[in-house]
Amino acid sequence: MLFAKINQLIPVEIKMPESEEDLEIYNIYYNHVSGWRQKIIDWALAKLPKSVIIDDGEVFFTRSSIRNALAHGKGKLKLFSIPYIPLMLKDGILFYKEKEDKFIYYNYTHPFLFNG
């Protein structure tokens, strides 16, 4: 049932950015140019709304949440998918929920395409 719901979603196409600013941000990110993390966080916050309402509540995009997302691995897809996160959350399917101490973690999935 869960996989059937996921398969019904129309994939989001994550496109390579065309603006010089976005491409410059990618180079800063990929090469870890001095101060890269703060520059990426500023770029991401400019691309994202302050929050998005989903069925399970409101998701806030903060400096801390973006910093945590950037802490694990790097690559084009990770960086270029940031502006699409609100759409993927709104239309996504909850596939796993985990309670740990005082927190509940909600894991959503949404299909996407990148470079075909």
Per the CB < 8 A criterion, the answer to whether 48 and 84 are in contact is no
Report the pLDDT value the prediction gives residue 3, as an integer from 0 to 100.
Answer: 86
pLDDT at 40: 93
Asked if the structure places residue 4 within a domain, the reply is: no
So what's the pLDDT on residue 1? 85
The model carries a pTM of: 0.84
Q: Is residue 1 part of a domain?
A: no
In a domain, 97, yes or no: yes
- Quote the tokens at residue 104: 């509940």
- For the CA atoms of 113, 97, 52, 69, what is the dihedral angle to 10 degrees? -60
Structure tokens at 93: 């399917």
User: In this predicted structure, what is the pLDDT of residue 39?
Assistant: 93
Residue 7 lies in a domain: no
Residue 31 falls inside a structural domain: yes
Residue 106 lies in a domain: yes
Q: Which amino acid is at 61?
A: F
Residue 48 belongs to a domain: yes
Q: What is the total count of domains within the chain?
A: 1
* Domain annotation covers residue 110: yes
State which residues form the domain around 23. 19-114
Amino acid at position 70, single letter = L
